[in-house]
Amino acid sequence: MDRRNFVKTAAWVPLMAGSGSLGWASPATAGAGAALSAGSREEMSARYELTLHRVLSGQSPAYTEDLVLADVKPKAERRFTEYSGDISGRYIGALATAARVYGTPFPRLDGLVEKIVALQKPDGYFGSGFHYDKPTDLDLALLWGNGRLLVGLLEYYRLKPEPAVLASCRRLGDWLVRIGPLMLSDETRAEFGAQHFASSYICWMQHTEGLANLYMATRDERYRKLAGQIAEVIELRPGDHVHGCLTSLRGVMDLYAATGEAQWLRQCEAAWEGVATGKDALLTGGVPEGWSPNGHRTEGCAEADWVRLSLGLWRATGKRKYLEVAERAVFNEFRFNQFATGDFGHRLYTDTGLPGDGSARAWWCCTLHGLRAFPDIQGSVFRATKEGLWYDLPLDGRALAGQPAAGRLAATADSSLAEDGTVKITVTAAGAEPAWLFIRKPKWAERVD
């Protein structure tokens, strides 16, 4: 098999079930009802549980309250506290989204959010300090962490719409508006080129995600305007940090979702095409940590972003190539990147394979970002249209479509594809009228029986 053309086209096999008019609630919005069915054998479910267990109960290091809060105090008691809000934001966002999607409560999360909000500086940011006259690498690191924290707080706000949390997000958003002219200047863009890598201009570009979501929560035009201004200067510069670039593009997709302005969708499609058809598209379906010529290893954050961006484009456009690339990455690179501990991280790669030497568990970012990707993957298993219910990804999932009395179709999928090549789909609610269930045949499958 030519693995470079592993997944390129798809077809759907239709089945018909008794049902009335179709409604829809995807796992990404269905709350507690979206929890995976008990006793599932599907590998993706087990991998999600493995990473969740790592975050909640794992060691070396343990995600204690002190470790999570260290980057917002700030207190130099662990690695990378200069990225103020990075771990804390990812931790909050991953668990808040898991709670909302899978219906799993995390009682300690509320108190942690309260403590984080209390550490916000009067100017609106989190961290040690910011040089308004001439930013340094430390200021860009602070900007990166604050971007991840803004997103995490907004994901928590989506779970629990607490006014104090939104007020904190507004203060941070107002600070970003304040420094916008400085950070958008040609001088700043030129100063923090790809050679700065994790403290390059990507630390500012990635604020598209937080600002777009803050705009959705507040409808404050200042946040929409700034997100658009940042989107206009996004570049995928050679050697730059892939995670930062792809996170920025995911933010542009959120801006498109918030505004419906087609230019943002076109921008993401063009950027995606350049990556998917370029030399940084890996055989495994993933992407490297750095754009060429800096692509010597992978990074779990970048893999998660590539999957999430591809799935977002699939949902927005219905173009099969996005789903196919996401599927390939999920079944190959995303799985291979995960460690037996549940962590995600770095893998070196060569022309002949990926050696064990040089691998690293990146608990400071990839583990949490990997956990955050699972709900987006599960949320793309089923979808509903006026034609019927579609089973797109051969993974576990649940489509909730209202109560049986309303004549709406609902179904669950339990996949043991990795073990014996089968998936069990159960229609759990159906009305009196016929309705279609479409099962996608992946390109790599000879047939679907």
pLDDT digits (tens, 9 = 90+) for 52-96: 999 999 999 999 999 999 999 988 778 899 999 999 999 999 999
Q: Across the strands, what pairs with 360?
A: 346
pLDDT digits 0-9 by tens, 331-373: 999 999 999 999 999 998 877 777 777 789 999 999 999 999 9
CA triple 411-416-422, angle to 5 deg:
75
Angstrom CA distances, 343 to 60, 234, 339, 419, stand at 11, 30, 5, 23
The secondary structure of residue 342, as a DSSP letter, is S
Contacts of 176 (CB under 8 A, 6+ apart): 207, 210, 211, 226
pLDDT band at 2 (very low <50, low <70, confident <90, very high): very low
Indicate yes or no: pTM above 0.85. Answer: yes
For the ranges 96-110, 134-148, 312-326, 431-445, the lowest mean pLDDT is seen at 431-445
Q: Which domains does the chain have, with CATH numbers?
A: 1-43+386-449 (no CATH), 44-385 (1.50.10.10)
- Please check whether residue 135 is in contact with residue 146, taking contact to mean a CB–CB distance below 8 angstroms: no
pLDDT at 1 over 60: no
Buried b (16+ CB within 10 A) or exposed e, 400-415: bbbeeeebbbbbbbbb
| Strand bridging mode 10-18 / 410-416 | unpaired
| Residue bearing tokens 């087609």 | 262
The model's pLDDT over 118-127, given as tens digits with 9 standing for 90+, comes to 999 999 999 9
Query: Which of 74 and 308 is assigned the larger pLDDT?
Result: 308
pLDDT (tens digit, 9 = 90+) per residue, 239-264? Answer: 999 999 999 999 999 999 999 999 99
For residue 90, the model assigns a pLDDT of: 98
Residue 405 has pLDDT above 90, yes or no: no
The mean per-residue pLDDT over the stretch 420-434 comes to: 87
The CA angle 423-427-433, to the nearest 5 degrees, is 140
Would you state the pLDDT for residue 253?
98
Q: Tokens in use for 252?
A: 């542009």
Concatenated DSSP letters of 82-117:
TSTTHHHHHHHHHHHHHHHHH----THHHHHHHHHH
User: For 368-396, what is the mean pLDDT?
Assistant: 92
Residue 417: its pLDDT value, please? 87
Backbone angles phi, psi at 335, to 5 degrees: -70, -40
Rounded to whole angstroms, the Cα distance separating 242 from 68 reads 24
The owner of tokens 């479409």 is 438
Please write the tens of the pLDDT for every residue from 191-209.
999 999 999 999 999 999 9
Residue at 150: amino acid letter: L
Residue 410, pLDDT > 50, answer yes
What mean pLDDT value characterizes the chain? 88
